[in-house]
Chain A
Amino acid sequence: MGSLTGASGALLAARTMLATLLFWFIMILTVASAVMVVVARNILHSAFSLAVTFLGVAGLYIFLHADFLAAVQLIVYVGGIIVLVMFAIMFSAHTQEGTVEPPRSILALGAGAIVAGVVFAALAMLINRLQVPFHETTPRAQWQKLEGRLYVLQGNPHAPGAADQIKSLSAEIAALKKQEAYRTTVSAKPGEYALGHVLLGEYLLPFEVASILILAALVGAVVIVRKETR
Protein backbone atom coordinates (compact mmCIF):
# COMPACT_ATOMS: atom_id res chain seq x y z
CA MET A 1 0.00 0.00 0.00
CA GLY A 2 0.98 3.58 0.13
CA SER A 3 3.03 4.81 -2.78
CA LEU A 4 1.46 5.23 -6.16
CA THR A 5 3.31 4.59 -9.36
CA GLY A 6 4.02 7.62 -11.48
CA ALA A 7 1.90 6.28 -14.32
CA SER A 8 -1.23 5.78 -12.27
CA GLY A 9 -0.78 9.20 -10.70
CA ALA A 10 -0.56 10.79 -14.14
CA LEU A 11 -3.59 8.80 -15.24
CA LEU A 12 -5.52 10.08 -12.28
CA ALA A 13 -4.65 13.68 -13.03
CA ALA A 14 -5.56 13.22 -16.68
CA ARG A 15 -8.81 11.59 -15.71
CA THR A 16 -9.68 14.47 -13.42
CA MET A 17 -9.02 16.95 -16.18
CA LEU A 18 -11.07 14.99 -18.69
CA ALA A 19 -13.89 14.83 -16.25
CA THR A 20 -13.74 18.56 -15.69
CA LEU A 21 -13.82 19.20 -19.42
CA LEU A 22 -16.73 16.85 -19.89
CA PHE A 23 -18.51 18.51 -17.01
CA TRP A 24 -18.20 21.96 -18.53
CA PHE A 25 -19.30 20.66 -21.89
CA ILE A 26 -22.41 19.17 -20.37
CA MET A 27 -23.07 22.32 -18.40
CA ILE A 28 -22.90 24.52 -21.45
CA LEU A 29 -24.93 22.07 -23.50
CA THR A 30 -27.64 21.95 -20.87
CA VAL A 31 -27.90 25.69 -20.48
CA ALA A 32 -27.78 26.29 -24.21
CA SER A 33 -30.44 23.75 -24.97
CA ALA A 34 -32.59 25.10 -22.14
CA VAL A 35 -32.36 28.53 -23.72
CA MET A 36 -33.28 26.95 -27.06
CA VAL A 37 -36.33 25.39 -25.45
CA VAL A 38 -37.41 28.82 -24.39
CA VAL A 39 -36.68 30.81 -27.46
CA ALA A 40 -37.27 28.44 -30.40
CA ARG A 41 -40.30 29.45 -32.45
CA ASN A 42 -40.93 25.99 -33.78
CA ILE A 43 -42.35 24.00 -30.95
CA LEU A 44 -40.82 20.82 -32.34
CA HIS A 45 -37.36 22.35 -32.05
CA SER A 46 -38.22 23.21 -28.49
CA ALA A 47 -39.09 19.61 -27.80
CA PHE A 48 -35.82 18.36 -29.27
CA SER A 49 -33.89 20.92 -27.27
CA LEU A 50 -35.72 19.81 -24.20
CA ALA A 51 -34.57 16.26 -24.86
CA VAL A 52 -30.99 17.53 -24.98
CA THR A 53 -31.50 19.41 -21.73
CA PHE A 54 -32.78 16.24 -20.12
CA LEU A 55 -29.76 14.37 -21.42
CA GLY A 56 -27.51 17.00 -19.93
CA VAL A 57 -29.24 16.79 -16.59
CA ALA A 58 -28.82 13.04 -16.69
CA GLY A 59 -25.13 13.53 -17.25
CA LEU A 60 -24.94 15.89 -14.31
CA TYR A 61 -26.66 13.29 -12.19
CA ILE A 62 -23.79 10.96 -13.01
CA PHE A 63 -21.36 13.60 -11.88
CA LEU A 64 -23.34 13.85 -8.70
CA HIS A 65 -22.86 10.11 -8.06
CA ALA A 66 -26.55 9.47 -8.74
CA ASP A 67 -26.17 6.86 -11.45
CA PHE A 68 -29.52 5.25 -10.90
CA LEU A 69 -31.23 8.61 -11.07
CA ALA A 70 -29.46 9.34 -14.32
CA ALA A 71 -30.83 6.12 -15.77
CA VAL A 72 -34.31 6.97 -14.57
CA GLN A 73 -33.98 10.45 -16.02
CA LEU A 74 -33.07 8.96 -19.36
CA ILE A 75 -35.85 6.43 -19.36
CA VAL A 76 -38.64 8.55 -18.01
CA TYR A 77 -37.84 11.95 -19.42
CA VAL A 78 -36.07 11.30 -22.64
CA GLY A 79 -37.81 8.04 -23.36
CA GLY A 80 -41.24 8.87 -22.01
CA ILE A 81 -42.12 12.47 -21.49
CA ILE A 82 -40.43 13.76 -24.60
CA VAL A 83 -42.28 11.17 -26.65
CA LEU A 84 -45.52 12.21 -25.02
CA VAL A 85 -44.77 15.84 -25.78
CA MET A 86 -44.06 14.98 -29.37
CA PHE A 87 -47.33 13.15 -29.61
CA ALA A 88 -49.18 16.08 -28.17
CA ILE A 89 -47.51 18.42 -30.63
CA MET A 90 -48.30 16.22 -33.59
CA PHE A 91 -51.90 15.73 -32.55
CA SER A 92 -52.46 19.42 -32.08
CA ALA A 93 -50.59 20.58 -35.15
CA HIS A 94 -53.56 20.60 -37.51
CA THR A 95 -53.88 24.37 -37.47
CA GLN A 96 -52.65 26.55 -40.27
CA GLU A 97 -49.56 27.59 -38.36
CA GLY A 98 -48.43 23.97 -38.02
CA THR A 99 -45.85 23.53 -35.32
CA VAL A 100 -44.53 27.05 -35.62
CA GLU A 101 -45.67 29.33 -32.88
CA PRO A 102 -46.83 32.80 -33.86
CA PRO A 103 -44.49 35.52 -32.64
CA ARG A 104 -44.89 36.42 -29.03
CA SER A 105 -45.96 39.87 -28.01
CA ILE A 106 -43.43 42.26 -26.60
CA LEU A 107 -45.49 42.40 -23.45
CA ALA A 108 -45.27 38.63 -22.93
CA LEU A 109 -41.57 38.57 -23.65
CA GLY A 110 -40.90 41.50 -21.42
CA ALA A 111 -42.95 40.15 -18.57
CA GLY A 112 -41.28 36.76 -18.92
CA ALA A 113 -37.82 38.31 -18.98
CA ILE A 114 -38.51 40.47 -15.96
CA VAL A 115 -40.02 37.70 -13.86
CA ALA A 116 -37.32 35.22 -14.86
CA GLY A 117 -34.64 37.78 -14.23
CA VAL A 118 -35.96 38.66 -10.81
CA VAL A 119 -36.27 35.02 -9.88
CA PHE A 120 -32.75 34.29 -11.06
CA ALA A 121 -31.40 37.25 -9.19
CA ALA A 122 -33.13 36.12 -6.01
CA LEU A 123 -31.82 32.60 -6.42
CA ALA A 124 -28.30 33.80 -7.16
CA MET A 125 -28.25 35.88 -4.03
CA LEU A 126 -29.57 32.98 -2.08
CA ILE A 127 -26.82 30.74 -3.44
CA ASN A 128 -24.24 33.33 -2.64
CA ARG A 129 -25.41 33.44 0.93
CA LEU A 130 -25.43 29.70 1.31
CA GLN A 131 -23.53 28.56 4.39
CA VAL A 132 -22.60 25.09 3.22
CA PRO A 133 -19.17 23.83 2.13
CA PHE A 134 -19.18 23.99 -1.63
CA HIS A 135 -16.57 21.34 -2.04
CA GLU A 136 -17.18 17.77 -1.30
CA THR A 137 -16.07 16.78 2.16
CA THR A 138 -16.47 13.07 1.95
CA PRO A 139 -13.37 11.06 2.92
CA ARG A 140 -13.11 9.94 -0.65
CA ALA A 141 -12.86 13.47 -2.00
CA GLN A 142 -10.33 14.32 0.68
CA TRP A 143 -8.00 11.45 0.09
CA GLN A 144 -8.24 11.94 -3.65
CA LYS A 145 -7.13 15.52 -3.16
CA LEU A 146 -4.33 14.46 -0.81
CA GLU A 147 -3.24 11.82 -3.29
CA GLY A 148 -2.83 14.55 -5.90
CA ARG A 149 -0.46 16.38 -3.54
CA LEU A 150 1.33 13.14 -2.71
CA TYR A 151 1.85 12.59 -6.42
CA VAL A 152 3.45 15.99 -6.77
CA LEU A 153 5.70 15.33 -3.76
CA GLN A 154 6.71 11.96 -5.08
CA GLY A 155 7.77 13.74 -8.28
CA ASN A 156 10.75 15.28 -6.45
CA PRO A 157 11.35 13.21 -3.30
CA HIS A 158 14.64 14.90 -2.49
CA ALA A 159 13.25 18.31 -1.69
CA PRO A 160 13.84 19.38 1.90
CA GLY A 161 11.30 17.89 4.26
CA ALA A 162 9.62 15.91 1.49
CA ALA A 163 10.21 12.56 3.16
CA ASP A 164 8.42 13.66 6.31
CA GLN A 165 5.57 15.18 4.33
CA ILE A 166 5.22 12.03 2.24
CA LYS A 167 5.11 10.01 5.41
CA SER A 168 2.46 12.14 7.07
CA LEU A 169 0.38 12.42 3.90
CA SER A 170 0.47 8.65 3.43
CA ALA A 171 -0.68 8.16 7.00
CA GLU A 172 -3.47 10.68 6.51
CA ILE A 173 -4.59 9.04 3.31
CA ALA A 174 -4.57 5.63 4.94
CA ALA A 175 -6.70 6.96 7.81
CA LEU A 176 -9.19 8.56 5.38
CA LYS A 177 -9.43 5.37 3.37
CA LYS A 178 -10.08 3.42 6.53
CA GLN A 179 -12.77 5.90 7.45
CA GLU A 180 -14.35 5.53 4.02
CA ALA A 181 -14.24 1.76 4.23
CA TYR A 182 -15.91 1.97 7.61
CA ARG A 183 -18.59 4.27 6.20
CA THR A 184 -19.33 2.04 3.31
CA THR A 185 -19.74 -0.94 5.58
CA VAL A 186 -21.96 1.05 7.92
CA SER A 187 -24.28 2.34 5.24
CA ALA A 188 -24.34 -1.13 3.69
CA LYS A 189 -23.26 -0.78 0.11
CA PRO A 190 -22.99 2.51 -1.72
CA GLY A 191 -24.97 3.63 -4.71
CA GLU A 192 -27.98 1.89 -6.14
CA TYR A 193 -28.00 -0.82 -3.55
CA ALA A 194 -28.37 1.65 -0.69
CA LEU A 195 -30.81 3.76 -2.67
CA GLY A 196 -32.99 0.75 -3.22
CA HIS A 197 -32.86 -0.06 0.46
CA VAL A 198 -33.87 3.42 1.43
CA LEU A 199 -36.56 3.63 -1.20
CA LEU A 200 -38.20 0.36 -0.27
CA GLY A 201 -37.50 0.72 3.43
CA GLU A 202 -37.86 4.14 4.93
CA TYR A 203 -39.75 5.55 1.94
CA LEU A 204 -41.99 2.60 1.26
CA LEU A 205 -45.20 4.44 2.03
CA PRO A 206 -44.49 7.41 -0.30
CA PHE A 207 -43.38 4.86 -2.87
CA GLU A 208 -46.71 3.06 -2.71
CA VAL A 209 -48.62 6.32 -2.66
CA ALA A 210 -46.73 7.39 -5.75
CA SER A 211 -47.82 4.22 -7.49
CA ILE A 212 -51.44 5.04 -6.68
CA LEU A 213 -50.86 8.56 -7.96
CA ILE A 214 -49.52 7.23 -11.23
CA LEU A 215 -52.51 4.95 -11.60
CA ALA A 216 -54.83 7.87 -10.92
CA ALA A 217 -52.97 10.02 -13.43
CA LEU A 218 -53.20 7.26 -16.02
CA VAL A 219 -56.92 6.82 -15.53
CA GLY A 220 -57.42 10.57 -15.39
CA ALA A 221 -55.52 11.13 -18.61
CA VAL A 222 -57.55 8.48 -20.38
CA VAL A 223 -60.80 9.89 -19.10
CA ILE A 224 -59.88 13.42 -20.12
CA VAL A 225 -58.76 12.56 -23.63
CA ARG A 226 -61.45 10.03 -24.40
CA LYS A 227 -63.98 11.32 -26.92
CA GLU A 228 -67.41 11.35 -25.46
CA THR A 229 -69.56 8.75 -27.11
CA ARG A 230 -73.24 9.07 -26.73
Chain B
Amino acid sequence: MPLPSALPLPAIENLLSGGPDNLFNYLVLGALLFAAGIFAMVSRRNAVGILMGVELILNASGINFVAFARFGGHETGFHGYDGQIFALFIIVLAAAEAAVALALVLAVFQTHRTIEMDRVDELKM
Protein backbone atom coordinates (compact mmCIF):
# COMPACT_ATOMS: atom_id res chain seq x y z
CA MET B 1 0.00 0.00 0.00
CA PRO B 2 1.61 3.24 -1.09
CA LEU B 3 2.08 5.98 1.42
CA PRO B 4 -0.01 9.12 0.99
CA SER B 5 1.86 11.71 -1.04
CA ALA B 6 1.35 14.29 1.69
CA LEU B 7 3.82 12.49 3.92
CA PRO B 8 7.09 14.44 4.01
CA LEU B 9 9.29 11.93 2.28
CA PRO B 10 11.28 14.42 0.22
CA ALA B 11 11.54 16.45 3.39
CA ILE B 12 13.50 13.77 5.14
CA GLU B 13 15.89 13.71 2.25
CA ASN B 14 16.16 17.46 2.34
CA LEU B 15 16.56 17.67 6.07
CA LEU B 16 20.12 17.76 7.30
CA SER B 17 21.57 18.21 3.85
CA GLY B 18 23.41 21.46 3.37
CA GLY B 19 23.09 22.73 6.92
CA PRO B 20 22.92 26.50 6.89
CA ASP B 21 22.54 26.61 3.12
CA ASN B 22 19.24 24.76 3.10
CA LEU B 23 16.01 26.68 3.13
CA PHE B 24 14.17 23.64 4.40
CA ASN B 25 15.85 23.73 7.81
CA TYR B 26 14.81 27.28 8.43
CA LEU B 27 11.24 26.60 7.42
CA VAL B 28 10.98 23.62 9.73
CA LEU B 29 12.41 25.66 12.57
CA GLY B 30 9.88 28.41 11.83
CA ALA B 31 7.05 25.90 11.89
CA LEU B 32 8.27 24.48 15.20
CA LEU B 33 8.50 27.92 16.77
CA PHE B 34 5.06 28.75 15.42
CA ALA B 35 3.54 25.60 16.86
CA ALA B 36 5.26 26.20 20.19
CA GLY B 37 3.89 29.73 20.23
CA ILE B 38 0.39 28.52 19.59
CA PHE B 39 0.72 25.92 22.28
CA ALA B 40 1.82 28.61 24.72
CA MET B 41 -1.01 30.91 23.71
CA VAL B 42 -3.62 28.25 24.16
CA SER B 43 -2.38 26.50 27.27
CA ARG B 44 -0.58 29.12 29.36
CA ARG B 45 -2.55 30.48 32.30
CA ASN B 46 -0.31 33.43 32.83
CA ALA B 47 -0.95 36.47 30.64
CA VAL B 48 2.77 37.08 30.26
CA GLY B 49 3.14 33.50 29.13
CA ILE B 50 0.55 34.06 26.44
CA LEU B 51 2.46 37.12 25.37
CA MET B 52 5.60 35.07 25.08
CA GLY B 53 3.73 32.70 22.81
CA VAL B 54 2.87 35.63 20.60
CA GLU B 55 6.50 36.65 20.49
CA LEU B 56 7.47 33.16 19.43
CA ILE B 57 4.97 33.28 16.60
CA LEU B 58 6.29 36.62 15.44
CA ASN B 59 9.83 35.30 15.49
CA ALA B 60 8.80 32.30 13.49
CA SER B 61 7.32 34.48 10.79
CA GLY B 62 10.41 36.67 10.85
CA ILE B 63 12.62 33.65 10.27
CA ASN B 64 10.45 32.60 7.35
CA PHE B 65 10.60 36.01 5.76
CA VAL B 66 14.34 36.30 5.99
CA ALA B 67 14.87 32.74 4.82
CA PHE B 68 12.72 33.27 1.77
CA ALA B 69 14.49 36.53 1.16
CA ARG B 70 17.80 34.76 1.06
CA PHE B 71 16.81 31.73 -0.96
CA GLY B 72 13.98 32.82 -3.14
CA GLY B 73 14.38 36.53 -3.49
CA HIS B 74 16.37 36.66 -6.70
CA GLU B 75 14.04 34.53 -8.69
CA THR B 76 10.83 36.26 -7.71
CA GLY B 77 11.86 39.61 -9.03
CA PHE B 78 12.48 41.23 -5.69
CA HIS B 79 15.90 42.55 -4.91
CA GLY B 80 16.27 40.28 -1.96
CA TYR B 81 15.72 42.80 0.75
CA ASP B 82 11.94 42.94 0.94
CA GLY B 83 11.85 39.97 3.25
CA GLN B 84 14.39 41.54 5.57
CA ILE B 85 12.42 44.77 5.57
CA PHE B 86 9.32 42.83 6.54
CA ALA B 87 11.15 41.14 9.35
CA LEU B 88 12.35 44.52 10.47
CA PHE B 89 8.83 45.86 10.58
CA ILE B 90 7.72 42.76 12.41
CA ILE B 91 10.30 43.49 15.07
CA VAL B 92 9.09 47.07 15.28
CA LEU B 93 5.50 45.96 15.60
CA ALA B 94 6.47 43.33 18.14
CA ALA B 95 8.16 45.95 20.26
CA ALA B 96 5.13 48.20 20.12
CA GLU B 97 2.82 45.29 20.76
CA ALA B 98 4.90 44.12 23.69
CA ALA B 99 4.83 47.55 25.27
CA VAL B 100 1.07 47.88 24.94
CA ALA B 101 0.34 44.28 25.89
CA LEU B 102 2.48 44.44 29.00
CA ALA B 103 0.84 47.69 29.94
CA LEU B 104 -2.48 45.91 29.56
CA VAL B 105 -1.21 43.08 31.73
CA LEU B 106 -0.29 45.56 34.43
CA ALA B 107 -3.65 47.25 34.08
CA VAL B 108 -5.38 43.91 34.42
CA PHE B 109 -3.25 43.18 37.43
CA GLN B 110 -4.22 46.49 39.00
CA THR B 111 -7.91 45.72 38.66
CA HIS B 112 -7.98 41.99 39.27
CA ARG B 113 -4.90 41.46 41.43
CA THR B 114 -4.03 38.55 39.12
CA ILE B 115 -2.88 37.97 35.59
CA GLU B 116 -4.17 34.47 35.20
CA MET B 117 -6.37 34.58 32.21
CA ASP B 118 -8.88 31.96 33.34
CA ARG B 119 -9.81 34.26 36.17
CA VAL B 120 -10.20 37.21 33.85
CA ASP B 121 -13.26 36.36 31.86
CA GLU B 122 -15.25 39.54 31.48
CA LEU B 123 -15.75 38.85 27.80
CA LYS B 124 -18.32 36.26 28.86
CA MET B 125 -21.87 37.21 28.15
Contact = CB atoms under 8 A, between A and B. Distances in A.
A182 interface: no
A47 B46 CA distance: 12
A34 B36 contact: yes
Nearest to B114: A95
Given A124-B8, A130-B27, A224-B103, A112 B39 contact: yes
Contact of A128 (B6, B38, B42, B79): B6
A88 B38 contact: no
B35 A120 contact: yes
A146 interface: no
Contacts of A166: none
A32 to B, nearest CB: 10
Contacts of B63: 57, 60-61
A127 B31 CA distance: 9
Contacts of B75: 132-133, 137
A168 interface: no
A43 B84 contact: no
Instruction: Report, as a range, how many residues of chain B touch the other chain.
Output: 35 or more
Contact of B29 (A30, A134, A214): A30
A48 to B, nearest CB: 11
A75 B66 CA distance: 18
B12 to A, nearest CB: 10
B99 A85 contact: no
B45 A24 contact: no
Given A77-B94, A137-B74, A119 B66 contact: no
Contacts of A112: 38-43
Contact of B24 (A34, A80, A134): A134
B77 to A, nearest CB: 13
A68 B62 CA distance: 13
Contacts of B68: 132
Given A34-B36, A53-B33, A134-B14, A87 B89 contact: no
Most chain B beta-carbon contacts within 10 A, residue among A30, A34, A125, A128: A34
B28 A135 contact: no
Interface of B: 6, 8, 10-11, 14, 18-49, 51-53, 55-56, 59, 62-63, 66-72, 74-75, 79-82, 84-85, 87-89, 91-100, 102-107, 109-110, 113-116
Given A88-B102, A133-B75, A210-B92, 16 more contacts: A19-B20, A46-B49, A57-B59, A61-B66, A68-B84, A69-B87, A77-B91, A113-B39, A117-B35, A123-B31, A132-B23, A133-B72, A198-B85, A214-B92, A214-B96, A217-B95
30 contacts: A23-B20, A31-B32, A37-B40, A46-B48, A54-B59, A57-B63, A64-B26, A69-B87, A77-B91, A84-B98, A88-B48, A91-B106, A92-B109, A92-B115, A101-B44, A111-B42, A119-B34, A127-B8, A128-B11, A132-B71, A136-B23, A194-B79, A195-B84, A198-B85, A210-B89, A214-B92, A216-B96, A217-B95, A221-B99, A224-B103
Interface of A: 19-20, 23-24, 27, 30-31, 34-35, 37-38, 43, 46-47, 50, 53-54, 57, 60-61, 63-66, 68-69, 72-73, 76-77, 80-81, 84-85, 87-89, 91-92, 95, 101-102, 104, 108-109, 111-113, 115-117, 119-120, 123-125, 127-128, 130, 132-138, 141, 187, 194-195, 198-199, 203, 206, 210, 213-214, 216-218, 220-222, 224-225, 227
